[in-house]
């Protein structure tokens, strides 16, 4: 008989799916790394498990301990799976711009959820960064994950996602395109792929209101670049240690409106029911079309599932309220 010992053993080995309609004007083959096939429906399952196992090995996380993390939702889900199987308490701190579905799903998985304001500086005691750190310090036996600076995040993708993409494309991949948030995926996958073939190009997709693109191009952390945005899962107002800018060949920025509209189009034209960052990723890829030729094999990674955005990008009233549709 063939079966997994627990849900954690089903993480990884997600499929590559050819894109057909949205990429028809591109000369190259475009393949989607479809991460919603992970049990928590996102790429974050990979790093959540790696981070927990590394913390156990290092002695940071003791039996019966408490995991504390600031999350946009998906890392929290991955941590919830690990916490359930391994017997930990989980506290997730989330910003109020995230969808209600994400909050409800975390609660459904047994996590305690604290909601913090989005429009405050990272060092503000009300921010979800500061709140997560404070809770980890106050609660006995608690351990703060810190997915932004915990390099087990990048390690997970160097060990699993990168090798999968290399093997699935038979080493023919020429470009990797992905939305950048904590930086673990782009840095881990990019590092592995470039170790196999230094000519592979790694492109990051950023959002307006985030500092990544300008910092990559100028080395300047420009606070004038920072302002609120609705796109979820990508962009930052900090520089996470997991973002290895030396691995990334360039960034392209996508507007909130385009990210939302292309999230809808992925569902309606490709049958890809995906999250908001996927809309940004495919629009970013289309913006990069001049970089591709007919012999290229482009892999774009899609992070999470559309079920977490039913009240937002898949809700016409919300889309109208944002001014994204007439």
Please identify every residue annotated as catalytic. 44
Conformational region of residue 32, where left means phi above 0, alpha means psi within -120 to 50, and beta covers everything else? beta
Please report, to the nearest 10 degrees, the dihedral formed by the alpha carbons of residues 123, 128, 132, 135 taken in order. Answer: 90
Determine the Cα–Cα distance for residues 135 and 132; give it in Å rounded to an integer. 5
Q: 216: helix, coil or strand?
A: helix
Distances (CA, A) of 293 to 121, 144, 202, 323: 42, 45, 15, 35
Tell me the C-alpha to C-alpha distance, in Å, between residue 311 and each of 45, 102, 109, 276, 316: 23, 10, 20, 12, 9
Which residues, 6 or more positions from 64, have their beta carbon under 8 angstroms from its beta carbon?
Answer: 87, 88, 89, 141
What is the Cα–Cα distance from 167 to 165, expressed in whole angstroms?
Answer: 6
If one counts every other C-beta atom within 10 angstroms of the C-beta of residue 234, the result is: 26
Rounded to whole angstroms, how far apart are CA atoms 68 and 133?
8
d(CA 209, CA 229): 6
How many angstroms separate the CA atoms of 155 and 41, rounded? 20
């Amino acid at each position: 008989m063939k079966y997994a010992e627990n849900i954690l053993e089903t993480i990884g080995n997600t499929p590559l799916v050819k894109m057909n309609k949205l990429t028809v004007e591109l000369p190259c083959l475009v393949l989607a790394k479809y991460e919603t096939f992970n049990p928590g429906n996102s790429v974050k399952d990979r790093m959540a498990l790696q981070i927990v196992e590394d913390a156990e090995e290092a002695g940071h996380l003791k039996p019966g301990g408490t995991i504390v993390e600031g999350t946009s939702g998906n890392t929290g889900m991955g941590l919830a799976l690990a916490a359930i199987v391994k017997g930990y308490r989980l506290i997730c701190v989330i910003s109020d711009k995230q969808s209600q579905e994400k909050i409800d799903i975390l609660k459904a998985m047994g996590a305690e959820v604290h909601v913090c304001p989005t429009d405050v500086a990272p060092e503000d005691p009300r921010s979800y960064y500061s709140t997560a750190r404070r809770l980890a310090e106050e609660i006995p036996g608690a351990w703060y994950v810190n997915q932004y600076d915990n390099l087990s995040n990048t390690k997970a993708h160097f060990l699993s996602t990168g090798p999968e993409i290399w093997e699935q494309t038979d080493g023919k991949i020429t470009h990797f395109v992905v939305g950048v948030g904590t930086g673990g995926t782009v840095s881990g996958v990019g590092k592995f792929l470039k170790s196999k073939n230094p000519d592979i190009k790694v492109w990051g997709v950023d959002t307006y209101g985030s500092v990544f693109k300008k910092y990559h191009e100028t080395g300047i952390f420009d606070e004038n670049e920072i302002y609120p945005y609705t796109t979820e899962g990508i962009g930052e107002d900090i520089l996470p240690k997991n973002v290895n800018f030396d691995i990334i060949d360039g960034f392209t920025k996508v507007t909130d409106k385009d990210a939302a509209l292309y999230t809808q189009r992925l569902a309606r034209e490709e049958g890809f029911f995906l999250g908001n960052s996927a809309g940004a990723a495919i629009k970013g890829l289309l913006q990069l079309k001049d970089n591709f030729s007919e012999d290229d094999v482009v892999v774009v990674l899609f992070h999470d599932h559309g079920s977490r955005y039913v009240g937002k990008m898949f809700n016409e009233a919300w889309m109208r309220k944002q001014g994204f549709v007439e």
